[in-house]
């Protein structure tokens, strides 16, 4: 139970067997994920958009929290790998009847499934499931609490690499609610590991978590100076609950102090790339003109989500297949 994420998600040979967080993964492995995703790039353009890598495998989308984009892209990714997909909506299912999470997992295991894609409101949920599943099952974290959203981070890295040709040496700015954001944590880990020159975060103090500097980021107070010379700017979604929790006075004030506008973007490099993990609140964290403007790659991020999810599913399943084939019958 005391295993950290790095040990848990790699097998003895350092191959990916679960994908739980970016922490502890090497630069080579992160690059391999992106290279694999790139190799799947053509699949979507074929007449039959499928490769048979996961044929005969059953992938369970285990979503304890609502999601449209992530769940559908995982489903598409699994289907393009020829897997059978089971969507389990837990909000209306077992655990709401009092069944423990571990019992839910045991029951699904008994149905001989091969992979869990887990989204959960509690940090560490995917880690918990990975520490308890049977050895032939792979777990992919589709977002846990405020901890990690590693496939989102990797699709963002993949998108940056497509556009800029590299991550190394770039100045990347993340604007918004870092405190509650699993996406930001995973992005920061990935950017640092892949050699970004500087990662800056900018938000009011109420939305900056304690000790974030230890990740290797620079915390800014003024958005204009944060944007200065930036290669990439990532805006984070602002949840409506932040007003009632006294994190912020109003959406209006947030937009006027931290909103990503065309005017402010002028401080960044001319070829700045603007990203957002979605869903977007237009005119709250980002101006419509920026969303739909020439620097935005927000829809490209979504398409890349499928390739990255295919890559991580294929890689973890291949690790497990190899381990099983090496074991004496």
Q: Which residues make up the interface to other proteins (CB under 8 A)?
A: 1-5, 8, 23, 100-102, 120, 122-125, 127-128, 144-148, 182, 185, 209-212, 214-215
Q: How far is the CB of 20 from other proteins (least distance, A)?
A: 11
HSE of 92, CA atoms in CB hemisphere, 13 A:
4
- Residue 139 Cβ vs other proteins, minimum distance, rounded to whole Å: 13
For other proteins, which is the closer residue by CB, 217 or 284? 217
Q: Which is nearer to other proteins, 3 or 256 (CB)?
A: 3
Minimum separation from the CB atom of position 66 to other proteins (A): 18
- Could you tell me which residues are beta bridge partners of residue 171? 198
When the beta carbons of 24 and 229 are compared against other proteins, the nearer one is: 24
Q: How far is the CB of 134 from other proteins (least distance, A)?
A: 16
Is 213 or 263 the residue whose CB approaches other proteins more closely?
A: 213
What is the distance in angstroms between the CA of the first residue and the CA of the last residue of the chain? Answer: 28
In the complex, the smallest distance separating the C-beta of residue 122 from other proteins, rounded to whole angstroms, is 4
- Distance, in Å, from the CA atom of 187 to the CA atom of 299, rounded to the nearest integer, reads 18
Indicate the residue among 181 and 301 with the shorter CB distance to other proteins: 181
C-beta closer to other proteins: residue 145 or 229:
145
Across 1-37, b (16+ Cβ under 10 Å) vs e yields: eeeebeebbbeeeebbbbbbbbbbbeeebbebbbebb
Cβ 121 to other proteins shortest distance, Å: 9
């Amino acid at each position: 139970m005391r295993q950290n994420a790095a040990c848990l998600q790699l097998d003895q040979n350092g191959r990916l067997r679960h994908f739980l967080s970016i922490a502890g993964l090497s630069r080579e492995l992160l690059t391999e994920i992106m290279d694999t995703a790139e190799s799947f790039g053509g699949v979507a353009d074929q007449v039959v958009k499928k490769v048979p890598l996961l044929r005969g495998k059953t992938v369970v989308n285990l979503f304890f929290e609502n999601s449209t984009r992530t769940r559908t892209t995982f489903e598409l990714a699994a289907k393009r790998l020829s897997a059978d997909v089971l969507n389990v909506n837990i909000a209306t299912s077992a655990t709401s009847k009092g069944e423990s999470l571990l019992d839910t997992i045991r029951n699904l295991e008994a149905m001989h499934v091969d992979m869990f894609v887990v989204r959960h409101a509690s940090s560490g949920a995917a880690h918990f499931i990975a520490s308890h599943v049977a050895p032939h099952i792979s777990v992919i974290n589709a977002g846990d609490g405020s901890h990690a959203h590693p496939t989102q981070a990797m699709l963002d890295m993949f998108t940056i690499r497509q556009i800029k040709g590299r991550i190394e040496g770039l100045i990347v700015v993340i604007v918004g609610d870092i405190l509650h954001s699993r996406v930001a944590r995973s992005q920061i880990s990935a950017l640092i590991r892949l050699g970004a020159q500087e990662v800056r975060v900018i938000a009011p103090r109420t939305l900056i978590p304690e000790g974030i500097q230890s990740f290797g980021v620079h915390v800014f107070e003024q958005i204009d100076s944060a944007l200065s010379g930036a290669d990439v700017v990532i805006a984070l979604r602002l949840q409506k609950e932040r007003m009632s929790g006294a994190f912020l006075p109003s959406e209006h004030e947030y937009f006027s102090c931290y909103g990503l506008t065309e005017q402010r973007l002028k401080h960044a490099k001319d070829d700045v790339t603007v990203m957002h993990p979605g869903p977007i609140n237009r005119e709250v964290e980002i101006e419509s003109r920026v969303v739909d403007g020439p620097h935005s790659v927000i829809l490209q991020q979504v398409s890349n989500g499928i390739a990255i999810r295919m890559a991580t599913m294929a890689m973890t399943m291949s690790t497990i297949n190899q381990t099983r084939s090496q074991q004496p019958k």
